[in-house]
A = this chain, B = another copy of it.
């Protein structure tokens, strides 16, 4: 059984923990990751701040995962350089997104990595899990097929299963990385800027109406962007479309 030496550290998947509560669980997640050779952790807005003493105490031996972890303020920042992200949820929500098993997600991730994409697995807070607003920023969902009558996976166990599946699939089907020749996939930061651009202009244009439906319309639109696999050129074109519509509007009724 060989090490995942072939995994270029610059493209290894990141594990994103969103608003984790207990330091112990962050430390246990670091251990779970390292057991299966993953060491790139990003923490969004940990309840007890960062660095976290209890996480460090629990991580014994996997402390370097925490040392190198990024702590950021929101999901967008955690995913800024990521081209495809998988959000773990206890059950598929009422969102139009591909739902993967852990196995399917690992296979999909490796296929994307072979194209030069950067992927990330995203985990929610201990009790509540990810909010719909978080899910809308991720590209796909993963649900672990637990016993429908008793599903009680904790955060570190969930990280463990995903890391295990990733390693299992990576060893069975090592990604053969090709230079990203034709596909120049837009990263999450670019997608985020695009979503924001549209949201702001549409806000001005009175699109999010009536007020009572505005929030869900925004989430739906965010979710739509998250599913599109756009290149940088696509993003530029979509920015251009919106800019032009605004310019047209600003020229006034000229017909």
Contacts and interface: CB of A to CB of B under 8 A. Distances in A.
Interface of A: 1, 3-4, 31-32, 34-37, 61-62, 92, 94-101, 103-104, 107-108, 144-153, 157, 160-161, 164, 167-168, 171, 174-181, 183, 198, 201-202, 204-207, 217, 220-221, 224, 227-231, 233-234, 237-238, 240-242, 244-250, 252-253
A137 to B, nearest CB: 16
Contact of A183 (B35, B96, B164): B96
Contacts of A104: 175-177
Q: Which of A103, A150, A168, A181 has the most B CB atoms < 10 Å from its CB?
A: A150
Given A3-B149, A241-B202, A100 B177 contact: yes
Copies of this chain in its oligomeric complex: 2
A88 B139 CA distance: 37
A168 B103 contact: yes
A152 B224 contact: no
A123 to B, nearest CB: 16
Given A101-B177, A103-B168, A206-B248, 20 more contacts: A4-B147, A34-B147, A35-B147, A37-B147, A96-B233, A99-B178, A100-B176, A100-B177, A101-B174, A103-B176, A104-B175, A145-B167, A157-B157, A161-B161, A161-B164, A204-B248, A207-B240, A207-B241, A227-B229, A242-B245
Contacts of A228: 228
Contacts of A32: 157
Contact of A252 (B31, B181, B238, B253): B253
Q: Which of A160, A161, A231, A245 has the most B CB atoms < 10 Å from its CB?
A: A245
Contacts of A201: 245
Contacts of A174: 101, 103, 145
23 contacts: A1-B148, A31-B152, A36-B146, A36-B147, A92-B181, A96-B231, A97-B180, A98-B180, A99-B177, A101-B168, A101-B176, A101-B177, A104-B177, A145-B171, A160-B161, A198-B241, A205-B244, A205-B247, A206-B244, A206-B248, A207-B241, A250-B253, A252-B252
Nearest to A3: B148
B237 A150 contact: no
A151 B35 contact: yes
A167 B147 CA distance: 9
B224 A234 contact: yes
Nearest to A208: B244
